[in-house]
Amino acid sequence: MSTIVIGLSMGMLLFLLAAGLTLIFGMLRVINFAHGSLYMLGAYLAFQMVSVTGSFWAGLVAAPIIAAIIGALMERIALRPVYDRDHVYQLLLTFGFILVLDEAVRIIWGLEYKQMYPPELFAGAIEMFGSSVPSYRLFIIGFGAAVSAALFFMLDRSRYGMIIRAASGDPEMVRTLGINVSLVRTGVFSFGAGLAALGGAVAGPLFPIELGMGFNIIIDSFIVVIIGGLGNIRGAVMAALLIGMTRALGYSYAPSWVDFLTFILLIGTLILRPEGLFSRKGRTA
């Protein structure tokens, strides 16, 4: 039973790491290779805020906001001119962002590891089903569920979500209705960058904060996005939970096969349902 709780937390963490990637791909059709670097930036920004204010919550709020501003600048200055070109230009550009962001982090924070701790409220462990489950893991489950619900309602039920989806599907038509599509795109990229940073801030107390930490999660994020269906938020949640559970059971019974099991899921999806296990035709949210 405790394995299920841990699997849930692993899944929710994976979702938080991948949400920004799936949003940007779903709405802008841009594969953002710099997602991992934005996640890393989020962890460093959160660390900085915690160092200055002493509050984990300040880091959790400030890191996504700062990263969202940086994301908006990245989109406005670099990405916007290449929307009309071939996808390969966007790929190269986001790859370039990795180099710039990594170097910026190295210059500002250096090569030493940084550390963050869970907030006092979630610092201990709770006895559940005969296991000591860190309460921060329970926080991740709740927080991940809240973020996924908020994203779903924003994209699927709100007026803003409708505009975003319409701008993604038929930008010309939306433009003729008097909506500034360029601004919508900037907003989406900025929001996705903020989500990546949010993932970094949440992951800070669990992993070492170091240069290159983004590289570690980018593959996981792509697996979630592919299994869930490209750009599908609900699919991303389901895929993240599926992978989390698979891994939790894998670690219980065959830890050295965990990566193998994850990739089997990925390959199986690509062969049997390349549009994603949880995709429905025409759905983007």
- The residues that touch other proteins, with contacts defined as CB under 8 A, are 2-3, 6-7, 9-10, 13, 106, 111-115, 117-118, 123, 125, 130-134, 136-137, 205-213, 216-217, 220, 247-248, 251-252, 255-256, 258-259
Residue with smaller CB distance to other proteins, 137 or 165: 137
Q: Residue 127: beta bridge partners?
A: 132
Specify which residues 134 forms β-bridges with: 125
Distance CA 226, CA 220 (A): 10
Q: How far is the CB of 4 from other proteins (least distance, A)?
A: 11
Closest to 198 measured CA to CA, from 93, 46, 77, 71: 46
CB-wise, 7 or 235, nearer to other proteins? 7
Work out how close the CB of 240 gets to other proteins at its nearest, in angstroms, rounded to a whole number.
13
Tokens at residue 47, please?
């660390």
Q: Which is nearer to other proteins, 152 or 207 (CB)?
A: 207
Burial of 272 (C-beta count, 10 Å sphere; 0-12/13-18/19+): exposed
Nearer to other proteins, 43 or 188 (CB): 43
With CA atoms as reference, report the closest residue to 222 among 7, 35, 3, 4.
35
| Secondary structure (3-state) at 177 | coil
Q: In angstroms, what is the minimal distance from the CB of 263 to other proteins?
A: 11
C-beta separation of 22 from 230 below 8 A: yes
Q: Report the nearest approach of other proteins to the CB of residue 115 (Å).
A: 5
Q: Which residue, 185 or 247, is less far from other proteins as judged by CB?
A: 247
Could you tell me the smallest distance in angstroms from the CB atom of residue 237 to other proteins? 18
